[in-house]
Each structure stands twice: as C-alpha cells, then as structure tokens.
Amino acid sequence: MTALLSLYRSFTDTLERADWLLPTLARLLFAAIFLMYFWVSGLTKLSDGILGIFSPSTGAYVQIFPRMMEAVGYDVEQFGLLTKLFVLAGTWAEFILPALIVLGLFTRLAALGMIGFVALQSLTDLYGHGGWDDPKVLGAWFDRFPDGVIMDQRALWVLLLLVLVIKGAGPLSFDRALSPRR
C-alpha cells in the first residue's frame, strides 16, 4: 500500500510542477470551442464591403441593444455617438480578444476583457432578449441540469478564462517569446 501511495504522490507532484499544461490546454480549448463562435458572431455585426468593420450593421445594434432598437423603430440613425462607439467596440472585441488569446499575446488582459464581454453578453441575453423569464436560459446551480446557458455554460466559460488570467498563456505563446528570459 505504501508503494502505491508513493507512486500516486510522485504522479501528482509531477502534475503540480507542470505549469505549462493548464494554460496551454486552456488556450487550445478556447481555440477549439470559442474562437469561431465569437468570430462568426462578430461577422454578423459587420456591414457589407471592406469598410464594414468601421460600420456595424443594423443587426449589431439589434443584438447588443435589442430593446433600444425596438424603441426607436429599428432606426440606427437615432442613436448617439456613444452608442455607436459601444457597438463598434463590442464588434471589434469579438475579433480581437479571441485572436489575442489564441496567439497568446497579452493573454491575461485579453482573457480579462473576454470575462467582461461574457458578463455583458449574459446581461444582454437576460435583460435585453428576455432570457430572464426563461429558466432554461438562466439555469440554476446545484439543480442537476448542466444546460442552463447563463448559470451553467457561461460559468464554465469564465472558469476557462480565469485560468488564463491567473496562469498566463503558457510556454507556446507570444507572451513567453516577448518576455525577458528568466
């Protein structure tokens, strides 16, 4: 029994020293699960043409400010500069922040930005799109159902991003390449 415990401790000690493993896997999973999710979502917010990146589509406003859009009869021209800048920043964030995480460049800052983005996305889903009234969207913890969009799925998203905030990007990253040698 002592030999078995010793083997177990040796194995777990090796895992604890593998500082590269968790952030590398977190970035890999982010790329596999979320990169295209956010980029495709961002593409739905762009206007046509090459300059569409500077001119969010009407759909961008509907997705980000659904109740405000309804209140103004879906006329984007009734929004002020601040609202337009907010929609533009949200649209760009869906491209820039995931790309930075996958590249491992400014990873901690990008992951923190993504946590804020997910929080705003969740609040918009709850209050703007009426998800608050749908228990399937909100979900609940400790209820034996792991499929609630906000309480269950997005909590796991944030956990994955928190790994990157705390641990950084890992060795296979631009962050590591740009850092001074230790």
> Residue 123 CB: number of other CB atoms within 10 A?
13
Binned at pLDDT 50, 70 and 90, residue 41 comes out as very high
- Mean of pLDDT over the chain: 91
CA distances, 161 to each of 33, 34, 79 (Å): 12, 11, 33
For residue range 5-21, list pLDDT tens digits in order. Answer: 888 888 888 878 878 89
Reported pTM: 0.87
Residue type, 151: M
Give the tens place of pLDDT for each residue, 59-70.
999 999 999 999
User: Is residue 159 within 8 Å of residue 106, measured between CB atoms?
Assistant: no
141 vs 173, residue with greater confidence? 173
